[in-house]
Structure 1
Amino acid sequence: MAFTPRFAIVTGSDSGIGKATAVALAQQGMDIGITWLDDEAGAEATASEVRAQGRNAVVAQLDVRRLDRVGDIVSDLAGRLGGLDVFVNNAGAGDNVPLLELSLDGWRDTVATDLDGAFVGIQRAAQIMVDAGNGGRIVAVTSVHEHAPRVGQSAYNAAKHGLGGLVKTAAIELARYGITVNAVAPGEIATPMTDQEDEDPHGAERPGIPLGRPGDAREVAAVIAFLASPASAYVTGASWAVDGGMLQMGPHGGSHITSDDWRG
């Protein structure tokens, strides 16, 4: 049976990459489940954009640190949509605390947000897809720091490395059900996480990024939309860097290179 996605859930879709992804999937003909943590107005704005594409949108609050509730909220959204073909685990948070200053509570908060909650959501989404028997697409938004660590972000680096490992294992185990599992690893993207919401990244200079600028959330969403589509049927267990070439410069290249001298 050909895979034709109709229903998608995008966590953390009240802004940034999540919002852009929800709209991109709606443009591909999907009804969208939208989640928010503390910006209900942002989630409703995303829902309005989805509905403007002629698609249905349902909204729920989701704190991925509430591990006892994550799975049930995924199930509830899938029920309200009428099914689940695509699950995009986008909700996450960053930190910037040196190892020797990082508290155990801080470590646990970041890991719960970026890894534990992702596990619960991905597991429940996969079970819904397996039960339906129509295949599916799971995409986890990780980070370039899934692949290369950065100073001062030990909890974030560990969680994103772990999420990348979860994606690879899930890809192997779920392949028999026609479910693909992939990661998208953004670099510096103009979003609230980088304090660049609603800014045009094309005018910003980043000497340490080969393409010379931050990315636009819609550029990440386009890759996610491909991985959610029938066209990606033979792609699984992969991690797609969407970073303007940042990883080719080393883990500190993006923001620590301050001139274009290296280009010569």
Structure 2
Amino acid sequence: MSTIAPLPEERRGAPRRAVVTGSDSGIGKAVAVALAGGGVDVGITYHHDADGAEETARQAREAGATAHVRQLDLTDLPTAAAVVDELAGELGGIDVLVNCAGTGTAEPVMEMDFDRWREVLSVDLDGAFLCAQRAARHMIEAGRGGRIVNITSVHEHAPKVGAAPYCAAKAGLGMLTKVLALELAEHAITVNSVAPGEISTPMTGQEDTDPRGEPRPGVPLGRPGHAREVAAAVAFLTTPAAGYITGASLVVDGGMLLMGPQASQLLTDDTWRHP
């Protein structure tokens, strides 16, 4: 186990070691690189894309941080969650966990089989629960507090046709966030969620796309978000400045959720029922 040097005064209370699940691409990658740029050593996990994870690690190391990479298959539970323990051991502890690994669907409930339903819930909710539990145990034992940030979605708060298990999992993760915030507060561990709207990532088919060139008339800010904009919100929640924020859901959606009644008045047919 490595020896941790004392921090300079301006870094007192700041996190030193973070694990970011699903950080081989998209939001997870942006979060890991942002934390590394702030002087945080990172544990990076991936499911299939080992090369993407190594690229995240390369960028984190270029920023001056230590980076370790592990495969994490959240359909293999509870066994797979032991990766959090492995990374905590390599990092010399864990101050921050960001649950970013996720998957989704695009099919109606009446066409979905149970295995697909369970796969999404396993990755998006069960996996986050087990990883948070593992990380919190390390934080409690160390006695220095900590930060857990769960990446949910605007669908933590609002439904979407064709995304029943995703919406159910993200809503469940939002409530789990609040319960964990209550239960872990006595250990100085804050737990919050960040709920992105449409973000230009591989998950939305917009990898390496400049969101400023993608008009979205139905979003008040008129465009998708960039993964770095979500990462900035996550990074803030890990800092001492956010030490009195817990149990919150920080929505990063360009105003999308505000558009419910406004947008519904402009629909002229029923195509929304079968996207």
Tell me if structure 2 keeps the 8 A contact 1:148–1:250.
no
The aligned residue for residue 183 of structure 1 is: 193
Counterpart of 1:225 (choices 230, 235, 238) is: 235
Partner Cα separation in structure 2 for residue 131 and residue 142 of structure 1: 27
Q: 1:118 aligns with which of 128, 131, 142?
A: 128
SS at match of 2:200: coil
Give the match for residue 53 of structure 2. Answer: 43
Residue aligning to 1:94: 104
Q: Distance between the aligned counterparts of 1:130 and 1:143, measured in 2?
A: 28
Structure 2: 5+ residue stretches without partners: 1-11, 269-275
Q: Give the whole-Å Cα distance in 1 for the aligned partners of 2:79 and 2:200.
A: 30
Shift of 1:250: 1.9
Q: Which residue number in structure 2 is paired with residue 33 of structure 1?
A: 43
**TM-score normalised by L of structure 2:** 0.90
Secondary structure at 1:250's aligned position in 2?
helix
What does 1:1-264 align with in structure 2 at a 5 Å threshold?
A: 3-250=13-260
Q: Which amino acid aligns with 1:198?
A: D
Q: Which secondary structure state, in structure 1, belongs to the residue aligned with residue 207 of structure 2? A: coil
Q: Take 1:62 and 1:206, find their aligned partners in 2: how far apart are those partners?
A: 34
Against the structure 1 CA distance between its residues 257 and 18, is the aligned structure 2 distance closer, same or farther, given a 3 Å change threshold?
A: farther
Q: Contact 1:11–1:91 at 8 Å: present in 2 too?
A: yes
Give the drift of 1:230: 0.9
**Change in CA separation of 1:59 and 1:240 when aligned onto 2, cut-off 3 Å:** same
Moved more, 244-253 or 20-29: 244-253
Question: How many angstroms apart in 1 are the aligned matches of 2:87 and 2:223?
Answer: 36
Give every structure 1 segment of 4 or more consecutive aligned residues whose post-TM-superposition deviation is greater than 4 Å. Answer: 251-254
Residue aligned with 2:148, SS: strand
**Structure-1 separation of matches of 2:66 and 2:79:** 24
- Partner SS, residue 254 of structure 2: coil
Closer, same or farther in 2 for the Cα pair 1:245/1:220, shift >3 Å? same
Q: Which moved more, 1:63-72 or 1:222-231?
A: 63-72
Task: Output the aligned Cα RMSD.
Answer: 1.6
Q: For residues 250 and 60 of structure 1, what CA distance do their matches in structure 2 show?
A: 40
CA contact (8 A) 1:129 1:136 kept: yes
- The alpha carbon displacement at 1:251 in A equals 9.0
Q: Distance in 2 between matches of 1:156 and 1:122?
A: 19
Among all aligned residue pairs of Structure 1 and Structure 2, give the percentage whose two residues are the same amino acid: 60
How far did residue 72 of structure 1 move? 1.2
Give, as a single letter, the amino acid of the residue that structure 2 aligns with 1:42: G
Change (3 A) 1:44 1:253: farther
Structure 2 Cα separation of the partners of residues 142 and 104 of structure 1 = 22
